Amino acid sequence: MIEPLIQTDTLIVGAGPIGLELAVVFKTMGVDYVQVDAGQVGQTVSWYPRQVRFFSSPERIAIAGVPLSTSDQEKATREHYLAYLRGIVQQFELKINTYERVLSVQKQNDTFLVQTRRGGEQRTYQANHVVMAVGDMHHPQKLQIPGEDLDHVSHYFDEPHRYFGQKLLIVGGRNSAVETAIRCSRTGAAVTLSYRRAAFDDKSIKYWLLPEIQALIKSGQVTYLPNTTPTRLCETHARLVKTTAEGEIDPSGGDPIDVPADFVLLLTGYRMDTSLFEDAGVTLVGENQGPEFDPATMMTNVPGLFVAGTAAAGTQKRFRLFIENCHPHVSKITRSITGQSPPPGLINDAAKTYDLPES
C-alpha cells in the first residue's frame, strides 16, 4: 500500500529548547507546521546525569517568554528544566510527534520529501521548508581502543550510586569528567581521573567545580593522572600511557601504567551526526564540519532548508553555541519563512542582554 503524503508548509525536526521556541512562535503566528522528534521532548537534556545543574543561568535558557525560576535561586537542574519544557508544551498546546525519527530529507523540485519512522510505521511528509533543530551531541567521541565496548565501560554518566565502593576510572578533563569525579568520590567510589592534558582549563570548567576537584586531588580523595590516556581496557584494569603537552601519545613516555578499575567512564565529548544534512545536499564546512548557512537567515546552501540551535555549530571542540545565544535563530528563521517578525516577548533576548557573540 502506498502511504499518502502528509503536506505541511514547514517541518521542524527536533523538539529541544530551540525547536520548541520556534514551534511556540509558529503556533502563535498560525504558521502551518509539523514538529517531529526522534525521542522525547528535550531528548538531549534527558540524558544529562541526574540532578546535574546547567552552567547557564536560568534566565538565559528560558524560552518563549516564559520565566524559568528556581526555588533556590541557583542554576536549574536537568529535572527542573525538563519539567519546564513539558510545561511549555502544555501551556502552548504544542503538538509534537515524539519518537518519530527523520530518516532522510530530499529536495524534489521546489519541495522537500521527508521520510520518517515511528515504531514500525513509515511516514512521508512534503514540506516547502525544513528546519533542522537537531542539536550537536548525537554520538560519543569514541577513543577507538580495544575494550571500549565492554559492559563495565560507558560513555554516559547517569548517577553516582552505581559506583559506591567501586574502583572507578574516569577519562576526560572537562566539565562532565570533573563533575562526575567529584560526585562519585563523594558517593564513596575510589576515583581515578585520567586526563590527556597537564591541567584543567580554568576558563571552561564551571567556576564552582574547579576548587572542589583541586581540593579532592590535593587531599588524595581523587587520584589524578595528568598527561595520560588509555590504550586498552580490560575486565579488571585499564592500560594508560603518557601523553605529550599537546595531549598526543608520547612514544618516549616510558612504561604503561595499569590502573585497576571495576567501571570506566569515558567522558571525552560528543559529536554531531551530519548524515541528514549531507543527504539533503548541505555542504559541511570548517574544522567542526557544521552546515553551511547564511547567518542573516539561517538558511543553508540548500534553499528552503534551515538550521537552528546548536546544530549550526557542527561538532563543537570548544563550545561556542549554547542555548542562550541560539535564541536569535528563531527570529531569523521566522522572518525568512513568514516575512514577519515574531510577536514581541516570545523570544528570549538573552544574547542581546549579555552581549554574547551574534550567532
Ligand X SMILES: Cc1cc2nc3c(=O)[nH]c(=O)nc-3n(C[C@H](O)[C@H](O)[C@H](O)COP(=O)(O)OP(=O)(O)OC[C@H]3O[C@@H](n4cnc5c(N)ncnc54)[C@H](O)[C@@H]3O)c2cc1C
**Residue with Cβ nearer ligand X (171 or 323):** 323
Give the span between the Cα atoms of 76 and 83, in whole angstroms. Answer: 11
170 binds ligand X (CB under 6 A): no
Give the span between the Cα atoms of 317 and 293, in whole angstroms. Answer: 19
List the one residue from 26, 33, 54, 200 that touches ligand X (CB under 6 A). 54
Helix (H) and strand (E) counts in the chain: 9, 21
Q: 338 and 346 in contact (C-beta within 8 Å)? A: no
Site track 60-89 with ligand X (rule: CB under 6 A), x = hit: -x----------------------------
**Residue with Cβ nearer ligand X (238 or 307):** 307
Half-sphere CA count of 292, side-chain side, radius 13 A: 11
Q: Which helix (H) or strand (E) holds 153?
A: strand 153-154
The nearest distance, CB 57 to ligand X, in angstroms, is: 9
Count residues near ligand X (CB under 6 A): 34
Site track 87-106 with ligand X (rule: CB under 6 A), x = hit: --------------xx----
Residues 6+ apart with CB under 8 A from 346: 21, 24, 25, 28, 64, 65
Residue ranges of alpha helices (H) inside the chain are 17-29, 43-46, 58-61, 78-91, 175-186, 210-218, 275-280, 327-338, 350-353
314 binds ligand X (CB under 6 A): no
List the one residue from 11, 19, 306, 331 that touches ligand X (CB under 6 A). 19
The nearest distance, CB 158 to ligand X, in angstroms, is: 11
112 binds ligand X (CB under 6 A): no
List the one residue from 15, 88, 184, 222 that touches ligand X (CB under 6 A). 15
> CA separation (Å) from 107 to 39, 159, 302?
24, 43, 8
Q: 30 and 93 in contact (C-beta within 8 Å)? A: no
**Residue with Cβ nearer ligand X (99 or 263):** 99
Give the span between the Cα atoms of 132 and 10, in whole angstroms. Answer: 11
**Residue with Cβ nearer ligand X (138 or 239):** 138
Binding to ligand X in span 259-278, by CB under 6 A: 276
307 binds ligand X (CB under 6 A): no
Residues 6+ apart with CB under 8 A from 106: 112, 113, 114, 115, 279, 280
* DSSP 8-state secondary structure symbol assigned to residue 328: H
List the one residue from 8, 10, 12, 14 that touches ligand X (CB under 6 A). 14
Tell me which stretch binds ligand X (CB under 6 A): 47-55, 105-113, 214-222, 344-352: 47-55
Site track 326-345 with ligand X (rule: CB under 6 A), x = hit: x-------------------
Site residues, ligand X (CB under 6 A): 13-19, 36-39, 43-45, 48, 52, 54-56, 61, 101-102, 133-135, 137, 176, 276, 309-310, 322-324, 326
